[in-house]
Amino acid sequence: MSSRSASSRSSSSRSSSRLGRSIALHLFLTPLALIWLFPLWMMVIFSTMPDRGIFSPSIELLPHGSFLDNVNNLQRDTNFIGAIGISVSVAVTYTFLSVLLTSMAGWALARYQFFGKGVVVAIILGTITLPYAVVLIPQFIMVARDFKLANTWVALIVPPLFNSLGVLFMRQSFSMMPGDLFDAARVEGVKEWRIFLFVALPLARPMLAALAIILFLASWNNYLWPLLINSKPGAMTAPVALGTLIGLTKVSWGGIMAGAVMLTVPMLVVFVLLQRHFVAGIAAGAIK
Amino acid sequence: MAAVTLKNVVKRFGVFEIVHGANIDVEDGEFVVFVGPSGCGKSTLLRMIAGLEDISGGEIAIGGKVVNNVEPADRGIAMVFQSYALYPHMSVEQNLSFGLRMNGNPKADTERRVKRASEILRIAELMKRRPRQLSGGQRQRVAIGRAIVREPQVFLFDEPLSNLDAELRVQMRVEISRLHKELGVTMIYVTHDQTEAMTLADRIVVLNAGNIEQIGAPLDLYDDPANRFVAGFVGSPKMNFLAAQVVGNDGNATLLELANHGGARLQKPLSGAPPAVGAEVVLGVRPEHFFEAGEGDCDIAVKADVAEHLGSVSYVYANAGAAPGANAGPEELIIEREASRQRATGDHMVVSIKAGQSLLFDKSGARIR
Amino acid sequence: MRYQNATAYRFLAPYLLIFSIFWLWPIINSFLISFQATRTVPWRFAPTFNWGRLIGDPAFFNALKNTLLILVIQVPVMITLAIVMAVLLNSPLLKARGLFRFAFFAPVVVGEVAYSAVFRLMFNLDYGIINKLLNSVGLPRIDWFSNVTPAMAVIMIAVTWRWAGYNAIILLAGLQSIPQDVYEAATLDRVSKLKQFFYITLPLLKPIIVFCAVLSIIGTMQLFTEPFLITERGGPGGGTETLGLLLYRQGFRSLNFGYASAIAYTMAGLAIAISLVQLWLTREPK
Ligand SMILES: Nc1ncnc2c1ncn2[C@@H]1O[C@H](COP(=O)(O)OP(=O)(O)O)[C@@H](O)[C@H]1O
Ligand SMILES: [Mg+2]
């Protein structure tokens, strides 16, 4: 009897200390989360306000109704819809090609023994920590001056196809699969590229999804390279087109914010829907 | 159908030599089991036969044709893997037909082969399922079915039963035996389980650390092992090894004194040259070859530690205890007794060894006949 | 595995081709260009032309100083914040985990241009929401973009906001790969939660923390868009000009490729040094 009440007392004190820690946790994390959401919230609010609303002394924290006006203002300042079209097409093409290239390379590194493998792996690891700045200038000279490809889709898509983290991610994915599976196909006389296409890739579908999302996002948001190589108005990607407006004097800031929303909100939706893949793709770079 | 011949086959991974010159002749239609402890190179050997590993030295021939540089698919072999290696994203039917489809085999023929395999293995009702919807035993059948579909000349099995529970293992063992009789093709089967080897094989190849210790029919290995390793590996429970010293030789017999049994002596007839007097040797006695006191040629006293009663027989784990001045440590002996004569633990008992049912080995483990 | 050179290189070919054309050759070429005078036609070999200029260029040292300043302050703050986020998001006591994860991880998908625009507007002197909020609680408003210190602060705040969640994702995955029974054993040994954090979590997480720090340092070292767009081309008066921005100005405004390449290789040198430090920090104990 006495031992039972003693044990129930200790368990209630344990649960009350848990409650205390839980409250402290939420008291700390909630304001931090609100601060973190604040810029995104303000982006949405600004995009629904007319310019004179944005530049007024009052504090506005709730949405207004001028989003479509702002889109029109933006379209008047620059051909944003056209730029979005370019961005979407480029990102889709880039994602497809890059997933293919990186998974082929990852497959080779994971599943074959070959002369020079160590060198290839060293190259890939080495370029992860190499600043992009080192290749930027010669890349620009080559693509713009030697290949005369400035302001084309090829210029936007092809040079960024080299992607080290993606290859490492796919190598990891393929080497975690049981090798017997591929040997079984080999014994059955299935050609190597068919093993890759019909056995390895279908099994890697979740990893491919994660990779595709990350690559799409990288292309969608890429700024510096498109800014340099596709600077002609009709050839700009959406971030570049939007960037040209920032800092101009006679420009609609409501429009800029509407553009920012159009660039951001679709990605947020994808993020919410495919959070697991997103997180897997980002985390994969570091976690072996 | 085809014979498989290995001539001086060597395998190196970098600087490590894993297989040291294997010579094996597998006859047409024979069931040969490679057995040995884990890591001894069985899988490596099998994968070289399959063409999944390069051959570092020597020659492998299948059906009289050297296949060192032949692609796996063109060697006329099929392989069943320990992990089953079923394609998880395909149905059973697709798993069975995948290889044939990928190689453009005529559709009707593919269907015929798949149907035949599914009948042989009684998996017809599973054809639409995915591997994860199958039990371990069913997966195993599908994996074997995938090999059958290839209509190979040689079946290769790499520990196919080690992921199954004990009961299923026995059941599938019988089934693989049946399959061998039905198809009559050459089968090479790798396992670390000597029971599987003994029950399945026409001939067994015993491997140890990349060397072939002995090749022979199961009961030949059991009765007449070439060395201490084979003697210890084949048979369950293991053979007992008793330290002994040669104390005398007379013509065609040698006199041994057991090191840990208070000077107990055994006169052991030999056919070959006897070891020198004073040599340290090892006497091997199988658990079932201990007899009642006085029935054999040499009585020894032991103390029972633990008894396992299996119903039909009992195994007594007995401790000999090092005798004062003995040249070896204490020996744990496993003694098989009839169930009705089981002893309680802690009992002292006297058992007897027969010279004719014991084996003699020298210090290096080689057999003295 | 068998040696299959031909097959392996067929799978690697497209990737290696892209690498050779767009990375390998540029890496070499950039080095060569840094030893050439590139504002004369044709370019001529002049080994000390750019490098000599670099060591005497106050603009370079200003950019280097700014970059290092941001590195030294922003990266540790952000990594600490990311560790806190990851640990708290991993707490079994947390309710509405999905909402919190969304709040911290959402910036990961926001593009540099979009968020630069928002931060620029939020920190506007007269109409920015930050100054309005400061005013409303009785604090004086701050002229964020006309003075170097607050302008630097805005850059650091913006970068931290954008990347803390990214690092938290990596760290959280690392936390989740620590087996739970380690903590259970520690709890049975009466090790407090705080001590568990310092003596179990942090040591086990160290390689990942170092990895995050290195990626962040290399990212921050190349900082370009934020000073380009938020503080208007590194303003006020070059007060927020970074190496990335200087490289852009020299390379693509003044078309001085040789000098820009020398700046790029300085950044590469820094990156290599930092990677070596990483290797040293995460070396396996002998
Ligand atoms: N790819 C490899 N590289 C290096 N060593 C290997 C490789 N594959 C197997 N080995 C080594 O070869 C030996 C034999 O392996 P294996 O044939 O798989 O043994 P078994 O099947 O008898 O258990 C082991 O010591 C193993 O570590
Ligand atoms: Mg094996």
The dihedral sign for the CA sequence B209, B212, B218, B224 = negative
Nearest beta carbon to residue A105 from set C4, C15, C100:
C15
Strand partners of residue B24? B6
Partner A contacted by B132 (CB < 8 A): no
Q: Is the CB of B44 under 6 A from ligand 1?
A: yes
Closest Cβ opposite residue C8 in set A58, A114, A136:
A114
Nearest by Cα to C278 from C75, C138, C131: C75
Cross-chain Cβ contact B73/A180 below 8 Å: no
Residue with the smallest CA separation from ligand 1 atom 8 is B44
B264-309 pLDDT, tens per residue?
Answer: 899 999 888 888 888 999 999 999 999 988 888 999 888 888 888 8
- Amino acid symbol at C165: G
The 3-state secondary structure of B1-58 reads CCCEEEEEEEEEECCEEEEEEEEEEECCCCEEEEECCCCCCHHHHHHHHHCCCCCCEE
Query: Distance between CA atoms of B182 and B176, rounded to whole angstroms?
Result: 10
- CA dist A43 and C114 (Å) reads 9
DSSP string, C109-143: GS-HHHHHHHHHHHT-TTT-HHHHHHHHTTPPP--
**Rounded Cα distance, C6 and A115, in Å:** 10
Question: Looking at the complex, does the CB of residue A191 fall below 8 Å from at least one CB of chain B?
Answer: yes
On whether the CB atoms of residues B38 and B94 are closer than 8 A, the answer is: no
Percent of chain C with pLDDT strictly greater than 70:
99
Chain A contact set for C105 (CB, 8 A) = 271, 275, 278-279
Q: What is the pLDDT of residue A157?
A: 96
- Look at residue C264 and tell me whether its pLDDT is greater than 80: yes
The finding on whether B43 has its CB within 6 A of some atom of ligand 1 is yes
- B101-115, B320-334, C107-121 — which is least confidently predicted? B320-334
Query: Is the minimum distance from the CB of B205 to ligand 1 under 6 angstroms?
Result: no
pLDDT at residue A1, as a whole number = 40
Length reported for chain B: 369
C-alpha angle C207-C90-C173 in degrees, rounded to nearest 5: 40
Note the pLDDT tens digit of each residue in C70-121: 999 999 999 999 999 999 999 888 888 999 999 999 999 999 999 999 999 9
Residue B74 near chain A (CB below 8 Å): yes
Q: d(Cα B89, Cα A178) in Å, to the nearest integer?
A: 14
Query: What is the crossing angle of helices C25-33 and A133-140, to 10°?
Result: 90
CA of B49 to the centre of ligand 1 (A): 15
| A33–C99 CB contact, under 8 Å | yes
CA distances from A267 to A33, A153, A218 (A): 19, 22, 11
Reduced DSSP (H G I as helix, E B as strand, rest coil) percent helix, strand, coil of chain B, to 5: 30, 35, 35
Round the average pLDDT of chain C to a whole number and report it: 90
Residues B148-162 have a mean pLDDT of 93
Give the C-alpha separation, B345 to C37, whole Å. 95
Taking the Cβ of residue A147 and every Cβ of chain B, the question of whether any pair is shorter than 8 Å is answered with no
Number of H helices, E strands in chain C: 14, 2
Distance from first CA to last CA of chain B, Å, rounded? Answer: 39
As a whole number of angstroms, the distance between CA A229 and CA A150 comes to 5
Query: Cβ–Cβ contacts within 10 Å for residue A156, how many?
Result: 28
Q: What stretch of H or E contains B247?
A: strand B240-250
Let me know the angle formed at the C-alpha of B222 by B221 and B227, rounded to the nearest 5 degrees: 60
The verdict on a CB contact (< 8 Å) between A187 and B88 is no
CA distance C143 to chain A (A): 16
Ligand 1 pocket member B39 (CB < 6 A) = yes
The nearest CA of chain C is from the CA of B45 a distance in Å of 13
Q: What are the distances in angstroms from CA C182 to CA C94, C187, C196?
A: 21, 9, 10
Q: What 3-state class would DSSP assign to A130?
A: coil
| Structural domains of chain B, with CATH | 4-233 (3.40.50.300), 240-368 (no CATH)
> A-chain residues within 8 Å CB-CB of C127?
54-57
Q: Decide if pLDDT at C285 tops 70.
A: no
Pocket lining: B18 vs ligand 1, CB cutoff 6 Å: yes
Q: For position A127, what pLDDT does the model report?
A: 86
Please indicate whether residue B321 or residue B189 has the higher confidence score (pLDDT).
Answer: B189
Task: Tell me phi and psi for residue B48, to 5 degrees.
Answer: -70, -40
Lowest-pLDDT range of B339-348, C81-90, C226-235: B339-348
Whether the ipTM is more than 0.85: the answer is yes
Predicted local confidence at residue C188, as pLDDT? 80
pLDDT tens sequence for chain A (288 residues): 444 444 444 555 667 778 888 898 999 999 999 999 999 999 999 999 988 888 887 888 888 888 999 999 899 889 999 999 999 999 999 999 999 999 999 999 999 999 999 999 998 888 887 888 899 999 999 999 889 999 999 999 999 999 888 999 999 999 999 999 999 999 998 999 999 999 999 999 989 998 999 899 999 999 999 999 999 988 999 999 999 998 887 888 899 999 999 999 999 999 899 888 888 888 876 554
pLDDT at A8: 47
Sorted by where each starts, the structural domains of chain C and their CATH numbers stand as 58-281 (1.10.3720.10)
- Looking only at the bridges linking them, the beta strands covering B4-13 and B65-66 are unpaired
* Nearest ligand to the CA atom of B11: 1
Pocket flag, ligand 1, residue B38 (CB < 6 Å): yes
Tell me how close the Cα of B70 comes to any Cα of chain C, in angstroms: 12
Q: What whole-number distance in Å separates Cα of residue B75 and Cα of residue B68?
A: 10
Is the model's pLDDT at B345 over the cut of 60?
Answer: yes
Among the listed residues B327, B331, B286, the one whose alpha carbon sits nearest the alpha carbon of residue B305: B331
**Cβ-contact A222, A163 below 8 angstroms:** no
User: Neighbouring chains of A at 3+ CB pairs within 8 Å?
Assistant: B, C
CA-B45 nearest atom, ligand 1: 17
pLDDT for res B327 = 52
| Angstroms from C108 CA to nearest CA on chain A | 9
Give yes or no for B299 touching C (CB within 8 A): no
Closest C-alpha to ligand 1, atom 16: B41
* Ligand 1: centre distance to CA B211 (Å): 14
